[in-house]
Amino acid sequence: MEYIYAALLLHKLGKSVDEGSISAVIKAAGSEVDESKVRALVASLKGVDIDKELQSAAMPVATAAAAPEKKEEKKEEKKEEASAEGLAALFG
Protein backbone atom coordinates (compact mmCIF):
# COMPACT_ATOMS: atom_id res chain seq x y z
CA MET A 1 0.00 0.00 0.00
CA GLU A 2 2.85 2.40 0.69
CA TYR A 3 3.74 2.37 -3.02
CA ILE A 4 0.23 3.41 -3.97
CA TYR A 5 0.23 6.09 -1.28
CA ALA A 6 3.52 7.39 -2.64
CA ALA A 7 2.08 7.56 -6.15
CA LEU A 8 -1.04 9.36 -4.91
CA LEU A 9 1.03 11.84 -2.93
CA LEU A 10 3.23 12.59 -5.92
CA HIS A 11 0.17 13.03 -8.12
CA LYS A 12 -1.51 15.33 -5.58
CA LEU A 13 1.62 17.49 -5.45
CA GLY A 14 1.78 17.67 -9.24
CA LYS A 15 5.04 15.73 -9.40
CA SER A 16 5.96 13.07 -11.91
CA VAL A 17 4.83 9.59 -10.89
CA ASP A 18 7.88 7.64 -12.01
CA GLU A 19 10.18 4.99 -10.58
CA GLY A 20 12.68 7.47 -9.18
CA SER A 21 10.07 9.64 -7.49
CA ILE A 22 8.20 6.74 -5.92
CA SER A 23 11.48 5.23 -4.69
CA ALA A 24 12.49 8.58 -3.18
CA VAL A 25 9.18 8.89 -1.29
CA ILE A 26 9.44 5.33 0.05
CA LYS A 27 13.03 5.92 1.17
CA ALA A 28 12.09 9.25 2.77
CA ALA A 29 9.39 7.45 4.74
CA GLY A 30 12.07 5.17 6.17
CA SER A 31 11.16 1.99 4.33
CA GLU A 32 13.19 -0.24 2.05
CA VAL A 33 12.32 -0.02 -1.64
CA ASP A 34 11.31 -3.11 -3.58
CA GLU A 35 12.24 -2.09 -7.14
CA SER A 36 10.02 -4.76 -8.70
CA LYS A 37 6.96 -3.34 -6.92
CA VAL A 38 7.90 0.16 -8.04
CA ARG A 39 8.28 -0.95 -11.67
CA ALA A 40 5.01 -2.87 -11.56
CA LEU A 41 3.13 0.11 -10.13
CA VAL A 42 4.55 2.57 -12.66
CA ALA A 43 3.71 0.16 -15.49
CA SER A 44 0.15 -0.32 -14.22
CA LEU A 45 -0.38 3.45 -13.93
CA LYS A 46 0.84 4.13 -17.45
CA GLY A 47 -2.00 5.74 -19.39
CA VAL A 48 -4.30 5.95 -16.35
CA ASP A 49 -6.04 9.24 -15.56
CA ILE A 50 -5.57 9.23 -11.79
CA ASP A 51 -7.96 12.14 -11.22
CA LYS A 52 -10.72 10.33 -13.10
CA GLU A 53 -10.11 7.10 -11.20
CA LEU A 54 -10.18 8.88 -7.85
CA GLN A 55 -13.39 10.64 -8.77
CA SER A 56 -15.12 7.42 -9.78
CA ALA A 57 -13.86 5.61 -6.67
CA ALA A 58 -15.18 8.29 -4.30
CA MET A 59 -18.86 7.57 -4.93
CA PRO A 60 -18.99 3.92 -3.78
CA VAL A 61 -17.07 4.81 -0.65
CA ALA A 62 -19.55 7.52 0.27
CA THR A 63 -22.49 5.21 -0.41
CA ALA A 64 -20.99 2.38 1.61
CA ALA A 65 -20.32 4.68 4.55
CA ALA A 66 -23.95 5.80 4.67
CA ALA A 67 -25.43 2.30 4.55
CA PRO A 68 -24.41 1.12 8.06
CA GLU A 69 -25.99 4.20 9.66
CA LYS A 70 -29.37 3.34 8.18
CA LYS A 71 -29.15 -0.21 9.51
CA GLU A 72 -28.40 1.04 13.02
CA GLU A 73 -31.41 3.34 12.95
CA LYS A 74 -33.68 0.45 12.07
CA LYS A 75 -32.33 -1.62 14.96
CA GLU A 76 -32.99 1.20 17.40
CA GLU A 77 -36.57 1.59 16.16
CA LYS A 78 -37.23 -2.11 16.66
CA LYS A 79 -35.85 -1.99 20.21
CA GLU A 80 -38.09 0.96 21.08
CA GLU A 81 -41.16 -0.83 19.70
CA ALA A 82 -40.35 -4.02 21.59
CA SER A 83 -39.87 -2.20 24.88
CA ALA A 84 -43.14 -0.30 24.38
CA GLU A 85 -44.96 -3.58 23.81
CA GLY A 86 -43.45 -5.01 26.97
CA LEU A 87 -44.62 -2.06 29.06
CA ALA A 88 -48.12 -2.32 27.62
CA ALA A 89 -48.30 -5.95 28.73
CA LEU A 90 -47.51 -4.95 32.31
CA PHE A 91 -50.43 -2.56 32.53
CA GLY A 92 -52.95 -4.69 30.69
pLDDT tens-digit series, residues 44-68: 999 999 988 888 887 665 555 666 6
Q: Would you state the pLDDT for residue 54?
A: 86
Question: Is the CB of residue 25 less than 8 Å from the CB of residue 10?
Answer: yes
1-48 architecture in CATH? Answer: Orthogonal Bundle (1.10)
Question: Is the CB of residue 22 less than 8 Å from the CB of residue 41?
Answer: yes
Q: Would you state the pLDDT for residue 2?
A: 93
Mean pLDDT of the chain: 80
Higher pLDDT, 90 or 13: 13
Domain ranges in the chain are 1-48, 59-92
* Measured CA distances, 91 to 7, 80, 83, 85 (Å): 66, 17, 13, 10
* Non-local CB neighbours of 33 within 8 Å, separated by 6+ positions: 23, 26, 27
> Over pLDDT 90: what percentage of the chain?
50
Q: Would you state the pLDDT for residue 62?
A: 56
